[in-house]
Structure 1
Amino acid sequence: MISLLSAPSNLGLRPPVAGGVPGASKAPEALREAGLHRRFARLGAHDAGVVLPGRYVDDDATRPADLVRNEAALIAHARLLADRVGGILDTGGTPLVLGGDCSILLGIGVALARRGRRGLLHVDGHTDFRHPGNSDECASVAGEDLAAAVGLHRPSLADLDGFAPYFSPSCTVHLGHRDDDDAAAEARGVLGLVVSARAATAMRTADIASAVRAVAGTSGYWLQLDVDVLDPSVMPAVDSPDPGGLSIDGLAALLSALAPGAVGASVTVFDPDLDPDGRYAHVVADLLVDSFARLGADA
């Protein structure tokens, strides 16, 4: 049974303006308003509630250089989320975690690592591979989550409770970055498979799915979807919209092929503050219902 779990954390994002608060924390309720929970309930899904984060603070003026934004609150939320995701898995459920920003991958990673599951499919418009080894500007975990998840960030983030790496680099696939992504070359040298959005667009869905399964496993991997993998012509309601992304139909076909083998999935970075009339909430809801109806069916 699919369990919809809200994780409305915006703690890993930079402020939209000085002193401001990112809108991604509103995404789960915007999707509920767009009918997501009602439509999944018709498929037999369960509403598993919410894991509330701590307060977002623009701490740029006071934060020590060796900490990321909202680090203490982000770590506390990761541990709470790990417990809730783990509880769903232990009762045979299939978590569908609605973020928030993609720093929630840390808590999910801890939950999976506790249970010996190491495969990850990271579908994102950016590699999110910034870390202290390649940048002096580590501050926002939403741009550093994949690096942390495979053990490359500071231990305070990448080794919570001694579970580093949360996902095995050799069993991790990233798909969807743009050609100008600064960390793509490094990611290719570390991860099992890295596919750009341009390359994915040129490939058959069946071939991509086969390549993903060869690395992440035929079943039991986690599927992390950041909706900025879509081209901004169809999904502008994200904090970093970059041209050259996937189409709705192309992404839906890929997710539909791979969702059945996933033990769970997370969806992040949709920002309702950038969707004033709610039209893109309906786009995301349609995509998720169409693509994740069989989430976990073969896992």
Structure 2
Amino acid sequence: MAIGLLSAPSNLGLRPPAPTSVPGCAKAPEALREAGLHRRLAELGARERGVVLPGRYADDAAPGALRNQAAIVDHARRLAERIDLLRADGLAPLVLGGDCGILVAAGLALRRAPGRYGLVHLDGHTDFRNPDNSDKCASLAGEDLAAAVGRHWPAIADIDGLGPYFAPEDTVHAGCRDDDELLDETTTLLAAVLPASRIRHQGVERTAREILDAVDRSDLDGYWLHLDVDILDPALMPAVDSPDPGGLDAAELTELLAALAPRAVGAQVTVFDPDLDPDGTHARLLTDILVPGLASLGRDRR
């Protein structure tokens, strides 16, 4: 199965990094292109399938709503339609974000498809802030996993009546830090939660087996692979919105992706911020991880 490369340069789910400014992660797809990602994947058979542009960033959060909420919902619907088209053409979508709020679009696409799908959420944070555990909800990029499993306001967690996009028991999170304030809550709810410290302690091979045991099941038709690059330690990857020490190294992430990608129905890469990488060093590092890590995306699907 060939990869279909799709850009989704949304920054709508992030808070502004400073007053009157906008987050830089919308530049990530083109920064990765400049670093050689598209060329190197094309040499392995990947096909470029365009871009789904977001609406204008407005930072218009109001009580009971996300910032940029209307634009997020509109973008999610349009991105889901494009993911549908790639899958209908027999391609494994590789969506290059953008912020991790684009996970809602992947969920919409898979909920509209026949079958039942799981989620593997690789992220340096649980991203599980939601109205039941916080009065600070405003940015989908810190709340995407909660929205994906139906634990958010219906406007975002139940678009077109399709929520929850993934059942909690079909969802695995891996990569958060031990001090993540929502670690206990997600551990109770999801099929498995594996902090970065546990991955390093037990090794990538065992971690991948645990993840696959949870989502590569006979009663599921596959799983979506979400990668937020802040799963990496900031000593290696500081060009992210919320860097926290204690993350994976490049070899660990490459090995983990390579173990999980072949059985996935598609994947997304999010929250790389080129504004924090002016000379392209970190874009090249990320490309060197993603090419071997995701080259076999969708190859061994059921």
TM range (shorter): over 0.9
Amino acid at match of 1:29: E
Quote the Cα distance in structure 1 between the aligned partners of 2:105 and 2:241. Answer: 22
Amino acid at match of 2:20: G
| Cα offset, 1:275, TM superposition | 0.1
5+ residue gaps in structure 2? none
Match of 1:182 in 2: 181
Q: How does 1:115-126 map to 2 (within 5 A)?
A: 115=113, 116-126=115-125
Quote the Cα distance in structure 2 between the aligned partners of 1:164 and 1:36. Answer: 33
Cα contact 1:39–1:289 (8 A) shared by 2: yes
Match of 2:238 in 1: 236
Deviates more, 1:115-124 or 1:77-86: 115-124
Quote the Cα distance in structure 2 between the aligned partners of 1:16 and 1:223. Answer: 27
Quote the Cα distance in structure 2 between the aligned partners of 1:154 and 1:220. Answer: 27
1:31 is paired with a residue whose SS is helix
Quote the Cα distance in structure 1 between the aligned partners of 2:74 and 2:4. Answer: 22
| Cα offset, 1:209, TM superposition | 1.4
- Counterpart of 2:298 (choices 286, 296, 299) is 296
Quote the Cα distance in structure 2 between the aligned partners of 1:198 and 1:46. Answer: 36
Amino acid at match of 1:166: Y
| Cα offset, 1:162, TM superposition | 1.1
Identity among equivalent positions (%) equals: 59
| Cα offset, 1:39, TM superposition | 0.5
Cα contact 1:18–1:58 (8 A) shared by 2: no
Which digits, 9 at most, give the CA deviation of each residue in 1:187-215, with x for residues without a partner? 01110000100011111222111111111
Which digits, 9 at most, give the CA deviation of each residue in 1:214-267, with x for residues without a partner? 111157210000000000010000010000000100111111111101010000
Amino acid at match of 1:49: G
5+ residue gaps in structure 1? none
Which digits, 9 at most, give the CA deviation of each residue in 1:55-82, with x for residues without a partner? 11122xxx42011110000100000000
Deviates more, 1:195-204 or 1:205-214: 205-214
Task: Give the TM-score, by structure 1 length.
Answer: 0.97
Match of 1:273 in 2: 275
Match of 2:257 in 1: 255
Deviates more, 1:173-182 or 1:218-227: 218-227
1:14 is aligned to 2:15: yes
Deviates more, 1:162-171 or 1:110-119: 110-119
| Cα offset, 1:99, TM superposition | 0.1
Match of 1:85 in 2: 83
Which digits, 9 at most, give the CA deviation of each residue in 1:158-198, with x for residues without a partner? 00111111011101000000111111100011100001000
Quote the Cα distance in structure 2 between the aligned partners of 1:292 and 1:213. Answer: 16
Match of 2:67 in 1: 69
Match of 1:198 in 2: 197
How large is the Cα RMSD of the aligned pairs? 0.9
Task: Give the TM-score, by structure 2 length.
Answer: 0.96
| Cα offset, 1:114, TM superposition | 1.1
| Cα offset, 1:296, TM superposition | 0.5
2:63 is paired with a residue whose SS is coil
Which digits, 9 at most, give the CA deviation of each residue in 1:122-150, with x for residues without a partner? 00000000000000000000000000000
Q: How does 1:49-60 map to 2 (within 5 A)?
A: 49-59=50-60
Cα contact 1:19–1:58 (8 A) shared by 2: no
Quote the Cα distance in structure 1 between the aligned partners of 2:169 and 2:296. Answer: 26
Quote the Cα distance in structure 2 between the aligned partners of 1:12 and 1:237. Answer: 17
Quote the Cα distance in structure 2 between the aligned partners of 1:279 and 1:74. Answer: 30
| Superposition misfits of 4+ residues, deviation over 2 angstroms | none
Match of 2:110 in 1: 112
Quote the Cα distance in structure 1 between the aligned partners of 2:150 and 2:52. Answer: 24
Quote the Cα distance in structure 2 between the aligned partners of 1:161 and 1:90. Answer: 21
Deviates more, 1:282-291 or 1:140-149: 282-291
Quote the Cα distance in structure 1 between the aligned partners of 2:102 and 2:154. Answer: 16
Match of 2:42 in 1: 41
Cα contact 1:171–1:217 (8 A) shared by 2: no
